[in-house]
């Protein structure tokens, strides 16, 4: 049995979603809870993978679905493409989540005659960890630096955006930003007890642009 790597994971993701899009699913008929749909798809994908590949299964303790490849799977409805993820520290919004994302975006349709559901996967997107920061935050900070902004400007920006940090934390992060300007991220990340990730922009970028680190696997 082959060892799963990033290339085979991407290929398997594309093929799995194409296949599942054609299969009626009785278990999801009438289900409106996105978390239940996501759990079903994740379990089905792991079953699909484990028949072909060897890999380390994710767990709540490890925090992501494919820890050996540093990839987390997100299954989301195309109508409201978003999910949550654990909050580790405020700098994730600027420097990324620290791992790659694999996003399955589906449209769910119930077939009342057969009492089954169809999941039509419209997008399968891979996002490298370097592009998993917040778009508006990273864009704004790079603009400040481009205009020769100083530490006070960066601290003021972090305050205006209600970064979940105390004064010392903001000063420390501002110093890091000046020394290590962030890459542009393509997620929308909302402050909460958990990060709320929104994928509308990343799906748009994947399907309309050529950005290194953002791959549309459904080509």
pLDDT tens per residue, range 76-124: 999 999 998 888 889 999 999 999 999 999 999 999 999 999 999 999 9
25, 118 contact by CB (below 8 A):
yes
* Upper half-sphere CA count for residue 36 (Cβ side, 13 Å): 8
Element (H, E) at 141: helix 135-146
105, 77 contact by CB (below 8 A):
yes
Asked if pLDDT for residue 208 goes beyond 70, the answer is: yes
User: Residue range 4-32: average pLDDT?
Assistant: 96
Asked if pLDDT for residue 219 goes beyond 70, the answer is: no
Cα 156 from Cα 218, distance rounded (Å): 41
Confidence category of residue 60, pLDDT binned at 50, 70, 90: low
- What was the pLDDT predicted at 147? 97
Average pLDDT score over the chain? 93
User: Residue range 143-168: average pLDDT?
Assistant: 94
- What was the pLDDT predicted at 191? 81
Cα 219 from Cα 207, distance rounded (Å): 9
- What was the pLDDT predicted at 193? 63
Residue extents of the structural domains in the chain: 2-87+98-134+188-216, 135-179
- What was the pLDDT predicted at 210? 84
Three-state SS for 164?
A: coil
- What was the pLDDT predicted at 61? 62
User: Residue range 117-133: average pLDDT?
Assistant: 96
- What was the pLDDT predicted at 42? 95
| Helix%, strand%, coil% for the chain, nearest 5 | 40, 25, 35
Counting residues of the chain whose pLDDT is more than 90, the rounded percentage is 83
- What was the pLDDT predicted at 139? 97
Confidence category of residue 62, pLDDT binned at 50, 70, 90: low
Number of helical H runs and strand E runs in the chain: 7, 9
pLDDT tens track for 183-207: 999 999 998 767 899 999 999 999 9
- What was the pLDDT predicted at 195? 86
66, 46 contact by CB (below 8 A):
no
User: Is 60 or 12 the better-scoring residue by pLDDT?
Assistant: 12
- What was the pLDDT predicted at 179? 97
Element (H, E) at 40: helix 34-50
């Amino acid at each position: 049995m082959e060892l799963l790597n990033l290339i085979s994971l991407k290929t398997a993701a594309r093929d799995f979603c194409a296949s599942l899009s054609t299969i009626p699913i009785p278990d999801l008929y009438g289900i409106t809870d996105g978390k239940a749909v996501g759990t079903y798809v994740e379990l089905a994908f792991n079953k699909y993978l484990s028949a072909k590949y060897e890999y380390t299964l994710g767990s709540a303790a490890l925090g992501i679905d494919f820890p050996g490849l540093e990839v987390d799977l997100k299954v989301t409805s195309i109508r409201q493409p978003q999910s949550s993820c654990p909050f580790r520290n405020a700098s994730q919004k600027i420097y990324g989540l620290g791992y790659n994302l694999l996003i399955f975006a589906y449209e769910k349709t119930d077939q009342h005659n057969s009492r089954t559901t169809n999941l039509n996967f419209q997008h399968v997107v891979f996002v490298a960890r370097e592009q998993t920061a917040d778009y508006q935050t990273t864009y704004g900070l790079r603009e400040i630096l481009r205009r020769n902004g100083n530490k006070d400007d960066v601290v003021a920006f972090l305050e205006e955006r209600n970064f979940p940090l105390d004064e010392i934390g903001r000063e420390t992060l501002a110093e890091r930003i000046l020394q290590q300007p962030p890459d542009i991220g393509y997620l929308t990340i909302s402050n909460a007890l958990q990060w709320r990730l929104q994928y509308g922009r990343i799906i748009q970028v994947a399907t309309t642009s050529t950005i290194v680190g953002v791959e549309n696997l459904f080509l």
